[in-house]
Structure 1
Amino acid sequence: MTHQDFLRSLVDPKDRTPLTLSDDGKTLSSQAGTTYDVLEGGIINGLYPKDLLAEDAREQYLYDQAYLRYDRGVSWVFQTLNDSDEAATRQFMIGLMELKPGMTVLEVGAGTGKDSALIIDQVAPGGTAVLSDLSPNMLRLATEKLKSETVDIHFLLANGSYLPFADDTFDALFHFGGINTFSERKQAFEEITRVVKPGGKVVVGDESVAPWLRNRPTYATLLKANPLFRAEVPLEDVPANALDFKLHWIFGNAFYVMEYKVGAKAPEVLIDLPMPGKDFVDNWRVRAEASDREKAE
């Protein structure tokens, strides 16, 4: 996907109508007249809403301040978590997407590009990596670090709850390390699933100490020191068309990562399928209706 193809693939994150590139190449405009700037280095500012919700604005500010020390700090965190092997665990997470050369992948929350580099390696040659983040400073640092002669790389400022892409754009999507703080988390799950083709993989992870460890002394200290680790795995936000769902605990069981395939539609139970071997009507619907009658009596 060339840069021009990438620009043509973008839609208004508000209403998903096409965007038109200006003659000077500096802005993209929606049919409603909303404009999105093309920044230095070709980074697209696709953020919506323009005035972020309070929690998202706070996270953007914090990451913009911490971008130069972020990688060192994260590596220290992982070392404290049972001296976890950061490189091997990142390889494990990226491997869950089952990437192949030539694929088109979106990373939401690319940060400084640690995981992005692994994605780029796995879709080479001929693939496309679209790397988005909420923080301009983090994304600029990633543009300095990530280069490839065989993979098209595109950078985008975007809110994970409002992605500027049409349905079924990507072969896979990855996000690690921010979903728990999203102001509109359920909508973000809907968005990151919407833009992946049916059959494609979604991989998402963040902080959450495993339930069976929360009363252990050192983990209890961690929960007091950093409230992010108190987060629960957001299973209730996973879309109904998530298929083959799996949940993994990583980094000393203080982080989770979930994987699922995107289904063309949500699965259904065959509640009217007759039970074999019966000489009377029996199925799940009949049993449910009988249960309702018993409760009513």
Structure 2
Amino acid sequence: MNSLIYCCPATKSPLKKEGQAFVTESGVSYGILSSAAGNDIPVFISEDQLAGGDVISSAMYTKDDAEESYDNFLSWLFSTFEQNEQEFRLDLIGRLGINPDHKVLVTGCGLGDDLKYLYPILREKGELYAQDLSGLMVAAASRRMAEIYPDSKNLHLSVSNASALPFPDGYFDAAYHFGGINLFSDIPSAIAEMARVTKVGGRVLIGDEGVAPWLKDKEFGKIAIRNNALWASDAPLQYVPEYSKDVKLSWVLGNCFYIVDFTVSDRLPFMNIDLVHKGARGGSMRTRYFGQLEGVDPELKRRVQEASARTGKSASQWVEDALRLQLDISK
């Protein structure tokens, strides 16, 4: 494993492996998960650093029966919606456009239910990274993957907070999360971090409980939400980074889970804000937004409109010409 891929989640400074720790140049040290036999799984978070929904999640995952309960829930979930789990997960993974030589990140990996479908795509040439804030879940995911793929050398796990990922900018070709983000203490940062560590042109996919809007106030939706209050959650569209493109929103599993996926970009969509409008008002998007002046008397505004009409100019052009004349400014 190339430990230099990891960086300090707080400062983003590089790390190096020293004994049983990952250390920054300034001496900040991160330990290794003791319960993960045979694997160097770095731990980038401690219980006292958790807040909000992360505390709830951590408490759920540290119970003695957490692993069994998690499995039981997933079995119930896919049976309830009569959905083949393998087909479902492969469909979501397919939306990422992954190639065999890609580097892929899974956040909130839980017991690794998606890893076992991602790994066969990447096992020869690619890299698969996964993280979760629960050491118990990460250790279990490591164990389960080792049972299925004993030679999984390019699978790397960490215990970390998805809102402060221990990876450099633009390292991954795709980032994936399904199930759990509704409970994150800082959802905006978690989505921003997935976008930060994904290359320009790479795809990010996020999904969790959330009944579709047209069903929420119907009996179907009310039944779902009464069973699990998290199903009342809304898709976090407002947190999609502004530098994104090809944003898609869909619902799966009986329209009770939202899926948001987008392509990471380094620029806003193209929009010519200098194209001048034809007509009486005139002006451009730029002048209408950045060039607003103080309000004038309504009668004076009417007279400006009449004067501009007589000259055949738009009101915007007439006002600009009048101001230039008053200020003795040439074009």
Which residue is equivalent to 1:77? 77
For the structure 1 residues 84 and 271, does the alpha-carbon distance in structure 2 shift closer, same or farther, using more than 3 Å as the test? same
| DSSP-derived class of the 2:88 partner | helix
Residue 84 of structure 1 contacts residue 252 of structure 1 at CA under 8 Å; is this kept in 2?
no
Q: Judge which range, 46-55 or 29-38, deviates more.
A: 46-55
Number of aligned residues: 289
**More deviation, 106-115/52-61:** 52-61
For 1:36, give the aligned amino acid: Y
- Offset from partner CA, 1:8-44 (integer Å, 9 cap, x none): 111110111112321x2x0112234321112243211
Deviation track 1:226-265 (CA, whole Å, cap 9, x = no partner) reads 1100111111111111111001100100001111110023
- Residue equivalent to 1:116: 115
- In the other structure, the counterpart of 1:95 is 94
Are 2:34 and 1:36 equivalent residues in the alignment? no
Distance 2:297 2:270 in 1: 27
Of structures 1 and 2, the one scoring higher in RCO (CA 8 A, sep 6+) is: 1
% same residue: 31
Q: Which runs of 5+ in 1 are unaligned?
A: none
1:36-95 alpha-carbon deviations (Å, 9 max, x no partner):
1122432111227852114212201202321233122112023224x2333222111100
CA distance in 1, matches of 2:292, 2:231: 41
Q: Which has the larger radius of gyration?
A: 2
Q: Which amino acid aligns with 1:204?
A: I
**Which residue number corresponds to residue 58 of structure 1?**
56
Q: Deviations over 1:162-187 (max 9, x none)?
A: 00111011111101111111111111
Q: Which amino acid counterpart does residue 143 of structure 1 have in structure 2? A: S
Match of 2:14 in 1: 18
TM-score norm. by structure 2 comes to 0.80
Tell me, what secondary structure is at the counterpart of 1:69? Answer: helix
Matches within 5 A, 1:144-159: 144-146=143-145, 147=149, 149=151, 152-159=154-161
Tell me, yes or no, if the aligned pair for 2:276 and 2:284 is still in contact at 8 Å.
Answer: yes
- The Cα shift of 1:155 comes to 0.9
Amino acid in the other structure paired with 1:283: S
Q: How does 1:165-244 map to 2 (within 5 A)?
A: 165-244=167-246
Amino acid at match of 1:242: S
**Are the counterparts in 1 of residues 61 and 134 from structure 2 also a CA contact under 8 Å?**
yes
Instruction: Encode CA deviations 1:98-133: one digit per residue, 9 max, x unaligned.
Output: 011111111001111111111112224211101111
Provide structure 2 residue ranges, at least 5 long, that are not aligned to the other structure. Answer: 299-331
Cα-Cα RMSD: 2.6
- Counterparts of 1:28 and 1:58 in 2: how far apart (Å)? 28
| Secondary structure of the corresponding residue to residue 53 of structure 2 | helix
> What's the CA shift string for 1:140-177, capped at 9, x where partnerless?
11112212647611111110000011101111110111
Distance in 1, Cα, partners of 2:167 & 2:227? 38
Q: Hey, what does 2:286 align to over in structure 1? A: 285
The separation in 2 between residues aligned to 1:283 and 1:266, in whole angstroms, is: 19
Task: Using structure 1 for the length normalisation, give the TM-score.
Answer: 0.88
Match for residue 258 of structure 1? 260
Aligned-partner residue type, residue 18 of structure 1: P
